[in-house]
Homo-oligomer: A and B are copies of this chain.
Amino acid sequence: MSMQVDGLGHPLRGDVFDSNCPSRTILDHVTSKWAVLVLAALRTGPRRFSALRRTIGGVSEKMLAQTLRTLEADGFLDREVAPTTPPQVTYSLSPLGAELTEHLTGLVEWIAVRIPDIEAARS
């Protein structure tokens, strides 16, 4: 088992460098192509599927639906269906997802702010 345990055998933390540790799976999900953007978009508040689609340039409905399903299964998103016709589905960060997104936001912001320097360094 890859997790470190305390004296009583309780898991304390994972090790993302160990390919067998569940934390690796979570890291892979969270850093997948569209997940970062979904989480970042939801940081400002709950959004409907179509709003997310419009916000995230380049994502297809298929990939968006797939990504939302994975993030919901991981426990990072909450999904609320309004009994309207057509039904309106609103996604929001779960408490766990909000914690996670705090860390992702720093990364996304840093890239946005430093992109001119990154581009200069690339050329």
Contact = CB atoms under 8 A, between A and B. Distances in A.
Chain multiplicity (copies): 2
A18 B74 CA distance: 26
Contacts of A56: 17
Interface residues of A, number: 55
Interface stretch (A8-16, A61-69, A84-92): A8-16
Interface SS of chain A: helix, strand, loop or mixed?
A: helix
A107 B110 contact: no
A42 interface: no
Interface of A: 3, 10-24, 26-28, 30-33, 36-37, 40-41, 55-58, 73-75, 94, 96, 99-100, 103-104, 106-108, 110-119, 121-122
